[in-house]
Structure 1
Amino acid sequence: MPDIPADAPNPPPAPPDDGTTRHGVPRPSTWSLLRPLVLRLHFYAGLFVAPFILVAAVTGLLYVWTPQLEQAVYAHELRVPVGAEPLPLHQQIAAARAAAPDAVAHAVRPGGSPEETTRVLFDTGELAESTRLAVFVDPYTGEVRGTLDSYGSSGALPVRGWIDLLHRELHLGDAGRLYSELAASWLWLVAAGGVAMWVTRRRRRRVRGLLVPEPRARGSRRTLSFHGTIGLWAFVGLLLVSATGLTWSQYAGENVTSIRSALSWQTPAVSAEIPADSPGPVGVDVGVDRALAAARAAGLEGPVEVILPAGGDTGYTISELDRSWPTRFDSVAVDPSTGQITDTVRFADFPLMAKLARWGIDAHMGLLFGVPNQLVLTALALGLATVIALGYRMWWRRRPAARPGIAPVWRALPWHLRGAVVVVFAGLGLLMPLLGASLLLFVAGDLLLTRRGGGQAASTGVPRA
């Protein structure tokens, strides 16, 4: 470094950063630079992905009320007059086996209340994946009340199973699952972008302007006020529905499972394997009644499922089924030769993330808080449908106008914001592949429109930034 003379004048101090450029022009905030890009993506997602989100909302609304629908449609199979004393469980299973002699008994679900039937589940080898034959038995008389297909761990009967598959895949198999994954992948992003724009648009007004629409306004302003306020009220619920919906998805769901496994966030399960040092004689079975009694003595309450031993080296697995609040999801394994419990998993001992996943999924299905949960999901689905309808209305009224496309908006960003946006969306695309693929399609389509429109996205009707 060269020597500086001792009598050299000191350089003038740097002017304080007052938030303006050297010409006195206010420096734009990060949000003001990003807002046109967020608006553009919000518009494209709303225009092209909203139909998928709307279908998911409508079919989800149907699913929410399927527990009551099942009780009405299958009243004969599900309910019986209350008798004096229920038969031993092994006699009820024997009655069910007589009605399905060629099937293998897999599990039994005793009624959770005195008027409920006992459900015995069979593997037939002919039903679809995750589907078993359910035989319904009167616990007081042993009469078989009927047989129905039972789908999944929730034991969905045909009506609920049909609506479940409609919501999940539109009855189109793996190809149909792409629709629900696309909807779940974009829902949270569209909602977050919309809320950010609404809040910053109204930040200088009172809180009332954020939370309450303007019924006296006219035209687009009135539509936007309802669109924004309803979206803001629904925001937290939409995030929960989107996040939990992704856990069932085909591609993002696999990534979520991998992350949970890497971080040890999986749901623990009991081991039904009989310990090698078991003192019980080989081939001896104390019976399902004693196994259930051992589970009850260990604190398992309410409705349970008893999975029967699948072979000589496995025992009974008894699990609680109550997914309401407070959640009862304990499970035990019972040695069939001794009737002793060999393994126990308590819901209270679940890792926090496993508990949150359980609660989130149950809330998504409308089970966590019963009818109040169903009412909230109903309001959420109706609110989402309304927001989508209002969004299309705004687009229709503004459709002749041409607005700046993604390319001009992108060129207006400083390099550090471009890099941040690329990194964020690359990460999201890796976690949610359908989000990344559809985002690339939106960008490519917008660039074509911009090129044809001479720097403007031709006749898209995107709202002003």
Structure 2
Amino acid sequence: MSLTELSGTTTPEPAAAGDAPSRPSRRAAPLGALLLRLHFYAGVLVAPFLVVAALTGLAYTTTPQLDNMFYGDQLTVAQVGERPLPLAEQIGAARNAHPDGSITAVQPGDGDHTTKVVFSQPELGDKQHTVYIDPYTAESQGQLTTWFGSTPAATWLDDLHRHLHLGTVGEHYSELAASWLWVLALGGVILWWRRRSAARATARHLLVPDLSAGKGVRRTRGWHATTGIWLAAGLLFLSATGLTWSRYAGANFSAGLDALDARTPVISTSLAAVPAGTDGGNHHHGDAGAGGLVESAAFDRVLTVARDAGLSGPVEIAPATAPGSAWTVTQTDNTWPIAKDRVAVDPATNTITDRSDFTDWPLLAKLSGLGVQAHMGLLFGLANQILLAALALGLLCVIVWGYRMWWQRRPTRGDRRALAGTPPARGVLRGLPLWALLIGVPVTAAIGWALPLFGLTLLAFLVIDVVVGAWSRRRGSAAAPTSPAPAGN
């Protein structure tokens, strides 16, 4: 969250332009000094990754508006009719517009939304072709290459935010940013609280910058710290939810859900009574034309069964993926209160063979699902987008103020000029009490194991710091003047 000290410093602050002469600060307690040093170096080194994550995340918050701007003709209809036509007729129109591939999903249109008929083809990999059909006229309104329902613009921005279009290598940047964001946010809160507590400030002074401070590092620090306090809860949330689908920490999170039996329940699509070699009612590969329309009638039957079972709102119908399997119908409403109920349907008998309701999911599975939707700006609609945009802009301001403090604290005297301020003094580990080491080392190791990129970069920080410290001491010893020899020797 920040890039320089927010608590008592270990060295006097040099005077900066616009500041009144400063008094040497008292030496911080060992734990505070350690947190200050970690906060400073982690902020300086991780802030560029956070800037990229904030900028790309800010861009991603605009995807609903971009979709309407670029793809409004495909996503919505010009005129809402009295009632939608049968899905069989709409699917036939989609097959005429896109004769290649197999239908993997259909999302019936309602209101001013078009019906989405999704076709898979081997050459597309994990992407699909989606044909958009006017549900009231069965006319095709075009097709797009989509990724799990996302439009090309949303897919491009999602790839940019997650891995900068660099594939697996790029995923490391976003995981590194999320791994350190919670450390910087929580550490900044603690450091600012320590500083204000030492000054016996009220709660108001924790949340409002001291505008009476003169121009310079103190005023910048006030804006930096109080803004960070306001953002802290949101930044912690973004860090936690971002880590759940990261490469390494996300894998550990998934393993933890498995160990706790807290995964999203799997719905069974097995139809034991269907003999091998039959298609179990899976007719979605039929040809276009009249025969295709008759075979596609299974979609209408399955949808009717799901509606009768209480699955209201937008849904997605997925045909059976193999002989002897049921079809699935899933609610796809991601806005609060979300609807995620699912049923498995045997289209030959029009019966439900299995069901999974969101209310029955394990608590961690519910929280994980809600967190992902909120992180993507979907859970609360426009308010969610505005909140995410505010967090991204606030984080950028905090980072800029942090770097500005670093520059403002630079020595300006003729014999001590430097490009940036002096970092907090080293050697804080030696001053820690034994109990802090006995507790802190195992806890840090456990966090480093759960968040591998955090652990590896923290270890790298420590190694580099030790090497630089040894080199500085050696250089200082070599530069120290020696006493002149007595005369006559």
Normalising by structure 1, we get a TM-score of 0.87
Q: Give matches, 1:87-102, under 5 Å.
A: 87-102=85-100
- Give the match for residue 23 of structure 2: none
Aligned to 1:165: 159
In the aligned structure 1, how far is the partner of 2:320 from the partner of 2:130? 18
Two-structure CA RMSD over aligned residues (Å): 1.9
Mapped partners of 1:404, 1:189: distance in 2: 18
Q: Is the 8 A contact 1:220 1:394 kept in 2?
A: yes
Alignment of 1:440-451 (within 5 A): 440-451=459-470
Within the alignment, does 1:359 sit opposite 2:373 as a pair?
Answer: no
Aligned-residue offset at 1:284: 4.5
**Secondary structure of residue in 2 paired with 1:107:** strand
- Match of 1:433? 452
Aligned pair 1:121/2:115, yes or no? no
1:260 is aligned, of 251, 257, 273, to: 257
Give the whole-Å Cα distance in 2 for the aligned partners of 1:386 and 1:330: 41
Per-residue CA deviations over 1:14-36 (Å, capped at 9, x if unaligned) read xxxxxxxxxxxxxxxxx932111
Report the counterpart of residue 179 of structure 2 in structure 1: 185
Aligned twin of 1:424: 443
Identify the match of residue 45 of structure 1 among 20, 42, 45: 42
Instruction: Return the alpha-carbon distance in structure 2 between the equivalents of residues 402 and 394 of structure 1.
Output: 11
| Separation in structure 2 between the aligned mates of residue 277 and residue 106 of structure 1, nearest angstrom | 21
Q: CA–CA distance in 2 between the matches of 1:85 and 1:234?
A: 47
Helix, strand or coil: the match of 2:146? strand
Pairwise CA distance, 1:210: 0.1
C-alpha change, 1:287 and 1:430, in structure 2 (3 Å) is same
User: 1:174 is aligned with what amino acid?
Assistant: T
Over 3 Å counting, the alpha-carbon distance change for 1:71 and 1:396 in structure 2 is same
The CA distance in 2 between the partners of 1:396 and 1:449, in whole Å, is 21
Contact 1:405 1:450 (8 Å CA) reproduced: no
Question: Residue deviations 1:198-227, cap 9 Å, x none?
Answer: 011112201111000122312111111111
Contact 1:450 1:456 in 2 (8 A): no
Deviation digits for residues 415-445 of structure 1, max 9, x if unmatched?
3222322212111110011101111111122
| 1:454 aligns with one of 462, 468, 473 | 473
Partners of 1:39 and 1:456 in 2: CA distance: 25
User: How far, CA to CA, are the matches of 1:124 and 1:375 in structure 2?
Assistant: 37
Mapped contact 1:405–1:447 kept (Cα < 8 A): no
Aligned-pair identity (%): 48
* Cα distance per residue 1:291-331 (max 9 Å; x no partner): 10111111111111100122321121000011111111101
Match of 2:434 in 1: 415
Residue 302 to residue 283, structure 1, CA distance change in 2 (3 Å): closer
Shift of 1:456: 11
Aligned residue for 1:287, secondary structure, equals: helix
State the AA in 2 paired with 1:305.
Answer: E
Task: Quote the residue 1:134 is aligned against.
Answer: 130
Give the direction of change, closer, same or farther, for the CA distance of 1:144–1:217 in structure 2 (3 Å limit). same
**Residue correspondence of structure 1 range 198-213 to structure 2 within 5 A:** 198-203=192-197, 204-213=200-209
The alpha-carbon distance between structure 1 residues 442 and 180, as it changes in their structure 2 partners (threshold 3 A), is: same
Q: CA offset at residue 364 of structure 1? A: 0.6
Mapped to 2, the partners of 1:416 and 1:456 lie a distance apart of 34
CA contact (8 A) 1:272 1:317 kept: yes
CA distance in 2, matches of 1:158, 1:268: 30
For normalisation by structure 2, the TM-score amounts to: 0.83
> Does the Cα contact within 8 Å between 2:40 and 2:423 map onto a contact in 1?
no
Rounded Cα–Cα distance in structure 2 between residues aligned with 1:228 and 1:86: 55
Q: Which stretch of the first structure deviates more once superposed, 388-397 or 170-179? A: 388-397
Q: Which residue of 2 aligns with 1:332?
A: 343
- Inter-partner Cα distance in structure 1 for 2:29 and 2:118: 59
1:7 is matched with none
Match of 2:222 in 1: 225
Give 2:196's aligned amino acid: R
Q: Deviations 1:383-419 (Å, cap 9, x if unpaired)?
A: 111111111111122244545544x111111232223
Report Cα offsets for 1:113-161 as digits up to 9, x if no partner: 32111101111111132x1111111112221111111113xx1100010
Letter in 1 for 2:358: F
CA distance in 2 between partners of 1:70 and 1:456 (Å): 60
Structure 1, unpaired ranges of 5+:
1-30, 458-465
Distance 2:231 2:474 in 1: 36
Does 1 or 2 have the higher relative contact order (CA < 8 Å, sep 6+)?
A: 2
Asked whether the equivalents of residues 405 and 455 of structure 1 are also in contact (C-alpha less than 8 Å), the reply is no
Aligned residue-pair number: 420
Structure 2 contact 30–429 (Cα < 8 Å) conserved:
no
Alpha-carbon deviation of 1:85?
3.2
- For residues 98 and 345 of structure 1, the distance between their equivalents in structure 2, rounded to whole angstroms, comes to 35
Q: Distance between the aligned counterparts of 2:96 and 2:447, measured in 1?
A: 54
Answer yes or no: is the 8 Å Cα contact 1:136–1:147 preserved in 2. yes
Q: Counterpart of 1:256 in 2: which secondary structure? A: helix
Work out the CA distance in 1 between the residues paired with 2:124 and 2:342. 27
Letter in 2 for 1:428: I
Contact 1:404 1:455 in 2 (8 A): no
